[in-house]
Amino acid sequence: MEKETTGGCKRCLLFEMAGKDDVIAQVEKTRQLLKDDERSSDAEYKRRLELCKECDKLIDATCLKCGCYVEIRALSKGAHCPGKKW
Ligand code: SF4
């Protein structure tokens, strides 16, 4: 994890950040609400998040281009990266 002096966690995903249990629960709830044909495969979800982790627009698990938590955005098969990385 790459810590910023402001206390934020740069280049981290929610599951890596302390104190984000509510949001992590929301990620799981969103995953369960999606139908099988609406949900990204596990491999695609992992691929997307790896790309986000390398992206300079990821701050505090949030995409600065769209304002979404990437772990929620990446769940949906039909979602896309606003920076065209996935
Ligand atoms: S621009 Fe794309 S790759 Fe970068 S954080 Fe946002 S969704 Fe992820």
> 13 in ligand 1 pocket by Cβ < 6 Å?
no
Atom 6 of ligand 1, residue of closest alpha carbon: 63
Ligand 1 atom 3, closest CA: 52
- What is the reported pLDDT for 4? 47
Per-residue confidence in pLDDT tens, the chain, 86 aa: 554 444 556 677 887 776 667 778 888 888 999 999 999 999 999 999 999 999 999 998 899 999 999 999 999 999 999 999 99
- Residue 39's nearest CA partner among 54, 27, 51, 23 is 27
What's the whole-model pTM score? 0.81
Question: What token pair was written down for 26?
Answer: 């929301």
Q: What is the pLDDT of residues 55-79, one digit of tens each?
A: 999 998 899 999 999 999 999 999 9
Residues 27, 14 contacting (CB under 8 angstroms): yes
Would you kindly state where each structural domain of the chain is located, as residue ranges? 2-73
Q: Whose CA is nearest to atom 1 of ligand 1?
A: 83
